[in-house]
Amino acid sequence: MATGVAVAVLLAGCVDPVHQTTLPRRDATAPPSSAPGGAERFYGQQVAWEPCAEADECAQVEVPLDWADPAGESVEIAVARVRADDEAVGSILVNPGGPGSSAIDFLASARLIVSPEVRDEYDLVAFDPRGVARSTPVTCLDGPGLDELFGADFDVDTDAGLAEQTDAWAAFGEACAANTGAVLGHIDTVTAARDMDVVRAVVGDQALNYLGYSYGTKLGATYAALFADTVGRVVLDSALDPRLDSDEMSAGQAVGFENALRAYVTDCLDEDGDCPLTGSLDSALGQIRTLLDRARANPLPTTSGRRLTAQLAFTGIAYPLYSQASWPNLTAGLRSGLAGDGTALLALADAYADRDGDGEYVSNTMVAFNAISCLDLTATTDVAQMRADAAEIVAAAPTVGRFFSYTGSLCARWPVPAVGGLDDYTAAGAAPILVLGTTNDPATPFVWAQALADLLESAVLITHVGEGHGVYGLGSACARAAVDDYFLDGTVPAEGTTC
């Protein structure tokens, strides 16, 4: 997931731009040719904007439950808007990632991330994709039920343990179906991208201008592939390759987090007396593996009375790797964890899951993540193949690889069928699209940004040399200037731009 993170950077000079695109225009609500017949009423709807706490104004936008049947049942998605400081030339739709993160909640961060000069010119618009937060949210288990599932250490090395994990996630899916209803089968990314085009129309933009992070790049790339003719100025930051299946994503992220952990440990060992790890890089990584193995065999106590399992310990370790600015939190977590106290690592795991001190999950991000992923992604459910894949992942990522294995069991018995993605993501004919990637991003490895830039016909890649997840507005002055020029003047940076 991409949240508001700070990123340390190595800056290099940006090269001259290639060319410029024309300014976006407003006031065009006619549906594009790629919209299915019967969708006109959604594109032409008049929404009621009202003042709200989350933004300057909020509204509900009606969309079909099933885009294959626009004349059938409909649902509403929540939309919020922050008005430009000057007269707006258009809107920038923002998405923080996930899947499952609330874009409306992200608006408060977006106001800080997006440059003031850009906010002078553009409204910032966000919608919670269906299944998320305020838009017909996925609902599954209560807090204790989620605690049990998200903290479980299943012995997947045995057939019985793998079956137990599969059964637990099947029960989770059944609870989602019972508590969410029919929309559970219509929260996939292709559907969300079609909803985005309705949002574009109802705010009066002829072209979609967009800033998406992490999973938001998949959503943006899907939109571009579906609606190439209405692509405006689109920025896909911390990009992923939309063609990846679940197995490929897990293998890539395992290596990404392993590399990020190695970078953290190298930095930690360079600290004068402050690092709880000792010895060589490999020795220090071995100490982290020992901590994880210890938590699996005998979960660590915490001051809350809950126990820190290996799964929770890994989550607590992984979360600070999203941002180099959070590495001191990881140091504190490891120091107490190695001393036998799991409190600090549990707090990091809870922060990642949006779990408060009262045991409530204050957002549905985690459950929506799984529900959307089960519709979007395929994975092998063959036990022999999962075991072979797990061996390869652990060999490539010996410290954290175990936690990225056997993902096929999570959706093996999902109660609604997978939808998948598109056959073609080239977005032929689209206006220039900016793709941003960080060379040691743990969550969306840089090779994915390279792949997306190669895949999209009109994409230009900006490479950020550094650590962490997220580039624009999060530390790189070079990348910030390039994106600002693109949004303000349509200036497209040259191929090979490095920051």
List active site positions: 214, 441, 469
Q: Which amino acid is at 475?
A: G
- Cα separation, 300 vs 308, in Å, equals 5
Contact 198, 43 (CB under 8 A): yes
User: CA end-to-end span of the chain, whole Å?
Assistant: 23
- Cα separation, 110 vs 87, in Å, equals 19
- Cα separation, 103 vs 99, in Å, equals 10
Name the H helices within 403-476. 446-455
Contact 408, 384 (CB under 8 A): no
| Rounded alpha-carbon distances, angstroms, from residue 107 to 16, 127, 129 | 31, 10, 14
Pairing of strands 208-213, 122-127: unpaired
Name the H helices within 75-188. 103-113, 116-121, 143-150, 159-180
- Cα separation, 399 vs 340, in Å, equals 19
Q: Is the peptide bond before 99 cis (omega within 30 degrees of 0)?
A: yes
Helix axes of 446-455 and 215-226: crossing angle, nearest 10 degrees: 10
